[in-house]
Amino acid sequence: MKGIEKRLREEAKILLDAGTVSVVLAFRDGHNEYCPVPFAARDVSDVDAIVFNEYCTHNLARYVTEYDPGTKIAIAAKGADSRALVVLIQEEKVKRDDLVILGIPCAGMKDARRGTVIDETTTGGTLNPVIYDILLADPLPETDTSPYGVLADLESQGHDARWGFWQREMSRCIRCYACRNACPLCYCDPCFVDQNAPRWADKSPSLASNLMFHLTRFYHLAGRCVDCGDCSRACPMNIPLYLFHKKVAKECEEMFGQVAGMDPEGKPVMVDFKVDDSDEILI
C-alpha cells in the first residue's frame, strides 16, 4: 500500500503541476490512521498530504458529480470506484476525456468501524480497475468466488421468512440517508424522498415509509449498482443493504447477461433493449 501511496503522490504532483487536472480525488489522514478522509488535492502543495492504506475504502466516484461539467479531475480509483465511473460515463454525468483515472488494484481493504476485512461477501469483490489511464500497481489475480454466494442463505428461505428478515432490517432504519449520500450513483437532485410536494414517504421512520425509501432506491439502482458496499459501510445501524443490491444485480446478470459498470460503451440494463431480452419478469 505504501508503494501505491508513493505512486499516487508522484502522479498527482505531475498532473497538478502540468495543469492537466484541477483536482485530484484521493485520501488524507484523519484523526487516526484507521480513519482516512476523502481529499480533493488542488495544488502541488497538497500532494504530500495524500495517503493510501487499507482503510481507504470510500468510493471516490461519489465526488465526481459534484464538480462543474468540464472540470478536469484525476481520481484514485479502486476496482469498484472504476466501475462506478463507467456507469457515470454511460449516463453522461461525466465525460471520459475529463477524467484521469489513477487505477489501484487492491485486496484486503478493511472496514475500521466493524473490524472486518472487505471481500466479495459485502461487495462485488472487483480487485482491479476496469478502466484506467495509469495503473499504480501490478494487477492482481481476480478471485473466482461469486459475489452472490452470500445470498444462498436468504434465497433458501421461504417467502415469509425473507419478508420477515427485511421487515426487521427496514424497521431499524433511522433515515439518515448515509446509504444514499455515500452512493456514487445516487446523484438525483432532488432525491424523491426529499421532495415535499407531494411527500412520497413520511418523514417519520416506520416500516412503511422506510420501505418506500429503500425499495425505490434499490430499484432505481437496478442494473446500475456496482456493489461497492459503501452504502452498507456508511449505515450507522448496520443494515445489510448490500444483500438487496446483490440480489437485483444477480437477476440482471442471469436475465440480461449484464454486469453493471464494466463497459463504458455499454448501457445500463434498464435503459437498454434487445429483442431477445428475457421476458421472464412479464406476467
**118 contacts other proteins (rule: CB under 8 A):** no
> Of residues 152-171, which lie at the interface with other proteins (CB under 8 A)?
169
Q: In terms of CB distance, is 169 or 227 closer to other proteins?
A: 169
User: For the chain, what percentages of helix, strand and coil (3-state, to nearest 5) are there?
Assistant: 40, 10, 50
CB 175 within 8 A of CB 41: no
- SS3 (DSSP) at 100: strand
Span near other proteins by CB under 8 A; candidates 119-127, 148-156, 190-198, 272-280: 190-198
Torsion (CA) 237, 188, 266, 130 in degrees, nearest 10: -50
Q: Which span sits near other proteins by CB under 8 A: 99-107, 184-192, 212-220, 253-261?
A: 184-192
Q: Which stretch binds other proteins (CB under 8 A): 97-105, 131-139, 149-157, 182-190?
A: 182-190
Show the cell assigned to 100: 484521469
Within 8-47, the residues that bind other proteins by CB under 8 A are 30-32, 35-40
Q: How far is the CB of 150 from other proteins (least distance, A)?
A: 16
Nearest distance in Å: CB 83, other proteins: 19
- Cβ proximity to other proteins: between 202 and 272 the closer is 202
CA 229, distance to chain mean position in Å, is 6
How many Cβ atoms from other residues are within 10 Å of residue 271's Cβ?
10
Give the number of residues in contact with other proteins, rule: CB under 8 A: 42
Are the C-beta atoms of 138 and 58 separated by less than 8 Å?
Answer: no
Alpha carbon distance 274, 203 (integer Å): 40
State which of residues 116, 145, 157, 181 lies at the interface with other proteins (CB under 8 A): 181
Which residues fall within 8 angstroms of residue 99, CB to CB, at 6 or more apart? 64, 73, 74, 75, 85, 89, 133
Q: Out of 113, 155, 161, 278, name the contact with other proteins by CB under 8 A.
A: 113
Question: What is the distance between the alpha carbons of residues 218 and 232, in angstroms, rounded to a whole number?
Answer: 13
Q: Which stretch binds other proteins (CB under 8 A): 77-85, 125-133, 173-181, 272-280?
A: 173-181
Least CB distance to other proteins at residue 213 (A): 13
| Contact flag: residue 214 with other proteins (CB under 8 A) | no
- What mask of x and - would describe binding to other proteins in positions 56 to 95, judged by CB under 8 A? --x---xx--------------------------------
Residue 117 backbone phi and psi in degrees, to 5: -90, 135
CA distance 265 to 60: 21
Query: Is 188 a binder of other proteins (CB under 8 A)?
Result: no
Query: By CB under 8 A, is residue 245 in contact with other proteins?
Result: no
Nearest-10 Cα torsion for 101, 72, 123, 148: -80
Q: Which residues bind other proteins (CB under 8 A)?
A: 30-32, 35-40, 58, 62-63, 113, 169, 172, 174-178, 180-182, 189-191, 194-196, 199, 202-206, 230, 233-234, 236-239
